[in-house]
Structure 1
Amino acid sequence: MKPDSPLISVIIPAYNHEKFIGEAVESVLRQTIADLELIVIDDGSTDNTGKVVKSYSDRRLSYYHQENQDAYNTINRGLSMVRGKYVAILNSDDVYTRDRFEKIVAYQKKTGAQCVITDVIPISDDGQIFQDPDFGWNRWHSGNRKCYFESGDIYAAFLNGNFMVTTSNLFMTAEAAEKVGKFCSLRYLHDYDYIFRMMLAYPESVHYMADDKLLYYRIHPGNTLGEAAIIGREQDQQLIRKYMAAKVGQQDRLYAETGGQRLIDLGNELHDVRSQLEPAVMPGVRPALKTLIMSLRAWLAKKLPS
């Protein structure tokens, strides 16, 4: 790191978020740690996102515009530009708590972690916190956290579900970001793939600050149902198969059993989603789930030690 380099580099990939981008930018610039640079890359927005960003005159802020290339390519461009000792990513509709970096940097210096994630606070479009424990997202996140606490194993817990929640939750050393490399081309789950690769690169150095809620995560109306709900779960199945296989043979049955159960749960979730979106195709889904379970059992029989 050069002498004039900032402590922290923050990348915001922005797309058509004129309503939220100002709050995101301000949550970076108003951090209690001021030694940072903010790189905003506008991925071909057609609204006033760019105008809002350019209204800030802070010397730490750099703005770039490009033709639309999707989020993972936008993040990868940002990664090629960072200069800091640490690297963070913030989606243009999410918001940091003011002391996020202060708390994470102190934790990182104490533990030597290469990558740190925290707990998050779910909010609506107008900034209201979803506090009801029976709210669907809260139930999902609570279940993932429960698996983390019960298993005591961060890799196994991620096989059960992405409790990192979002790319915005990533905070890593520049060394780790360089070693893990670019984000993959999965449209919906590039963050999920990335955290698995991070855990494989640094098996003992990915840490979860489970008691600290240091990120506001925006949940938009209608986000959870539609084509993305199906494609996302199909990509989820692919990733779990891939990263479960990466651990089987190195560790023990915990990873395969946890990931296998998640595959079964995803089959059920796909059934529920398709029942709402595609009633006419439902007769073929349950048999497909049965086939998935049988295939999984055969795969595990080959992979697991007797």
Structure 2
Amino acid sequence: MKVSIITVVYNGAEHIRDCIESVLSQTYPDIEYIIIDGKSTDGTVAIVQAYGTKIARFVSEPDKGLYDAMNKGISMATGEVIGLLNADDFYRHDRVITNMVSLIEQTGSDAVYGDMLYVDRDDTQKLKRYWRSGWYSDNAFKWGWMPGHLSFFAKRTLYETCGLFRLDMKSAADYELLLRFIHKHKAKLSYMNEVTIVMRAGGISNSSLKNRLRANREDKLAWELNGLQPYFFTLWLKPLRKIRQYISKPPVKNAHS
């Protein structure tokens, strides 16, 4: 089973090596690694090119943003399963892809997901947040649940039948896609029950009331675009569920070897 891993990057020279090395060090033998660059000007292109044929596909050109770049990569992918890994992030250990493929083969799932760690951008040993996705149950989205997007591996056929990221969404494009795949189209899902992704803290923040209200509107739009009706409390329960991510502690690293 070929697995396509897609990294999108723009001016990510500071951390792109860590990301690439975490993919290339995976024990799984059949990985197609695709990197989509938004025409970086900081040396990112030279770093990627130095890996030569270890990178199956590399494109450096202007794009319409993060999700447009992800869609480009997904459209290029030839693997049976597709995973996304941003340039600031890396896999927690070298058997993430092996474990993921094993679970898909055992369960016949359309997609699998795991847990994520958010760490300090400069000191990756300093934990900021632990996102334990937990087990999925029907209507979990109505109770504010969602898996960590970058921990989500899906069969290519799921993208082909259910569509790519919507470019008319902004920060909630990942939420809308997961809502569509899992809640609307009932993709068969399995939980890896381990930390798979380590993310450097940063990106779009919903910490201010203004940003939270904007995110709430986008989440509401995600339901409307799919002809779905959340509970009256769904969109407020979703951010509240994140509170425990700042309190919970992750298990020790375990590659399930």
Pair 1:214-2:171 in alignment: no
Pair 1:50-2:45 in alignment: yes
TM-score, length-normalised on structure 1?
Answer: 0.68
Superposition map of 1:56-205 within 5 A: 56-96=51-91, 97-131=93-127, 137-138=129-130, 141=131, 145=133, 153=137, 155-161=138-144, 163-166=146-149, 168-185=150-167, 186-200=169-183, 202-203=185-186, 205=188
Query: Shift of residue 235 of structure 1?
Result: 0.8
| Structure 2 residue identity aligned to 1:261 | F
Instruction: Tell me how far apart the structure 2 counterparts of residues 53 and 267 of structure 1 sit (CA, whole Å).
Output: 36
Contact 2:143–2:237 (Cα < 8 Å) also in 1: no
TM-score, length-normalised on structure 2?
Answer: 0.80
1:94-140 CA-to-partner distances (Å, cap 9, x unmatched) read: 11131111001000000001011101122111243454xxx6x44xx
Instruction: Tell me how far apart the structure 1 counterparts of residues 13 and 173 of structure 2 sit (CA, whole Å).
Output: 24
SS of 2:196's partner is strand
- Any gaps of 5 or more consecutive residues in structure 1? 1-5, 249-255, 269-306
Contact 2:111–2:154 (Cα < 8 Å) also in 1: yes
Q: Percent identical across equivalent pairs?
A: 23
Query: Shift of residue 79 of structure 1?
Result: 1.4
The structure-2 alpha-carbon separation of the partners of 1:267 and 1:111, relative to structure 1 and needing over 3 Å to count, comes to closer
Runs (4+) of structure 1 exceeding 6 A deviation are: none
Instruction: Tell me how far apart the structure 1 counterparts of residues 23 and 47 of structure 2 sit (CA, whole Å).
Output: 15
Q: Name the structure with the higher helix share.
A: 1
Query: Shift of residue 60 of structure 1?
Result: 4.0
Instruction: Tell me how far apart the structure 2 counterparts of residues 216 and 15 of structure 1 sit (CA, whole Å).
Output: 19
Instruction: Tell me how far apart the structure 2 counterparts of residues 267 and 34 of structure 1 sit (CA, whole Å).
Output: 38
If asked which structure has higher relative contact order (CA below 8 Å, sep 6+), I would say 2
Computing the radius of gyration over CA atoms, which structure comes out larger, 1 or 2?
1
- Alignment RMSD, CA only? 2.9
Instruction: Tell me how far apart the structure 1 counterparts of residues 217 and 3 of structure 2 sit (CA, whole Å).
Output: 35
Query: Shift of residue 200 of structure 1?
Result: 4.3
